[in-house]
Structure 1
Amino acid sequence: MIRCLVLDDEQHAVDLLVSYIKRVPFLELAYSSTDPLEALAFLNTADVDLIFSDIEMPELSGLEFTKALRGKHHVVFTTAYSKFAMEGFEHDVLDFLLKPIIFPRFLKSAQKAMTLMSGLDKPKGEEERKDYFFVKTEQKGKLIKINFDEIDYVEGMRNYVGIYKNGELVQALMNMKDLESLLPMAQFVRVHNSYIIRISRIQMIEGNVVRLKNVNGAIPIGITYKNAFMDRIK
């Protein structure tokens, strides 16, 4: 069971999400509030797994509220303004719900949380999921460690994949399908047959290209990937 907290400065928005939570068998309402300071106080005394938080609030914004959590909880942002989506993903939030929120979209977000937490809540003694992997290179016997949080994007090439991390290119002897299976897809999204990008690096979307922070040039968005990509960031 996933224990949830709902935070929004508008009571009708809180009531809607509370009603949605009650309809999902694996979700449980732990607390709801229109006051972010009260919500923070509650979080200091109780266990909560998932937080649905509005971004635009008068006393403390959702972004400021999330910073105060220090990464201790999974967060889904809710807002009426799509312009906040990119900034929200910079905080590595689980999802972003654009108001008015319909139940099917809410359920999709809840299922994403369930999938992620099922992978994290392993039995004691079982090895935790690694935040890195090793890749083979053309140099015989050489393996390079790749940390997930260093990756900007991945490009599929003829005989290998190019992993761009912090401005450095690592050429790995593997194909895109194998690499995609290693990446935590809550943090990455495939936008083209030849490109996978890190969501938190997105700076701007212009037509059929996406621009990433600290990356020169633009990444193309494939026609067959565009709808799924846009759904991820809405």
Structure 2
Amino acid sequence: MIDCIIVDDEQHAIDLLKEHIDKVHFLRLVGTSTNPVKGLAMIADLKPGLVFLDVQMPNLSGLEMLKLIGNDCHVIMTTAYKEYALEGFEHAVVDYLLKPISFLRFLKAVNRLWIIHNSIRPANEQDYYVFVKTEQKGKLLKIDSRRITYIESLSNYATIHMDDQRKITAYLKLRELIEHLSPMGFVRIHKSFIISLSHITAIEGNLVRILNETQPVTIGEAYKKDFFELINAKLLSLPPDNSMNRDDSF
């Protein structure tokens, strides 16, 4: 569970973020403030894991607050003005959300944080298991998520590939699966594929090689930036020619 604080001088913006947070099982809202000075004191007192921080506020801007917060917590910036993004990322913020913030874009940002830092919360044995509806009516199948290598979309169905090369067909869509599996180390890299980060054996350009699979999985253009941000967070050194196709632009 990640404790969150919202600091924004507009109450309607806070209300929208509250609605989004309530829909995400690993987030818990512990405080809000429309006053940035009081918000700074709240952050120091409650020590949240994540702060949603507006950029433009009276008396103390979000970027000024960011410098005062330092590395005490993770920050997601929120604003209606895209031009502030570069300075925000210079302070290593998790993401930069443009208002009005859709739930899908919000979920993408918080999932990125959860995937990178999920090691801070040791998982119980029970956390590894999921249940899926199979093609057989009324039958639910229990699956150990640690044994899933990747998942492929087939319209309203999904084929779940296991590390023993079994294939399980389930009545699910990828957008439903990724919400539940992302805290377990899964990431969507294509409109048709979700992969397990722990089962990657190699990355070759826009192809990901998966354990026990002969065919690589293609990284979709729309998912490339987020995927390589996750990989670069684990990278010990950058290749001399930056051959991993990093996209540092916003």
TM-score, scaled relative to structure 1 = 0.55
Matches of residues 52-201 of structure 1 in structure 2 within 5 Å?
A: 52-121=52-121, 183-184=232-233, 194-197=243-246, 199=248
Q: Which has the higher contact order (CA 8 A, sep 6+)?
A: 1
**In structure 1, what is the Cα distance between the partners aligned to 2:247 and 2:122?**
25
Q: CA deviation at 1:47?
A: 2.8
The answer on whether the counterparts of 2:8 and 2:54 sit within 8 Å (CA) in structure 1 is yes
- The runs of 5 or more residues in structure 1 that have no matched partner are 124-173, 203-232
| C-alpha RMSD of the superposition | 3.2
Quick one: structure 1 residues 84 and 185, their matched pair in 2 at CA, closer, same or farther if it must change by over 3 Å? farther
Quick one: structure 1 residues 39 and 195, their matched pair in 2 at CA, closer, same or farther if it must change by over 3 Å? same
SS at match of 2:51: strand
The answer on whether the counterparts of 2:7 and 2:52 sit within 8 Å (CA) in structure 1 is yes
- The runs of 5 or more residues in structure 2 that have no matched partner are 124-202, 210-227
Q: CA deviation at 1:198?
A: 7.8
**In structure 1, what is the Cα distance between the partners aligned to 2:3 and 2:234?**
23
Quick one: structure 1 residues 182 and 13, their matched pair in 2 at CA, closer, same or farther if it must change by over 3 Å? closer
Q: CA deviation at 1:86?
A: 1.1
One-letter amino acid matched to 2:56: E
Alignment length, in residue pairs? 147
CA deviations on 1:119-161 (whole Å, 9 max, x unpaired) are: 34569xxxxxxxxxxxxxxxxxxxxxxxxxxxxxxxxxxxxxx
One-letter amino acid matched to 2:18: V
SS at match of 1:183: helix
**In structure 2, what is the Cα distance between the partners aligned to 1:60 and 1:109?**
25
TM-score, scaled relative to structure 2 = 0.52
SS at match of 1:45: helix
**In structure 2, what is the Cα distance between the partners aligned to 1:104 and 1:50?**
18
- 1:34 is matched with 34
One-letter amino acid matched to 1:30: V
One-letter amino acid matched to 1:64: E
Q: CA deviation at 1:58?
A: 1.2
- 1:165 is matched with none
Q: Which runs of 4+ in 1 moved over 2 A?
A: 119-123, 174-178, 180-183, 192-199
**In structure 2, what is the Cα distance between the partners aligned to 1:53 and 1:185?**
26
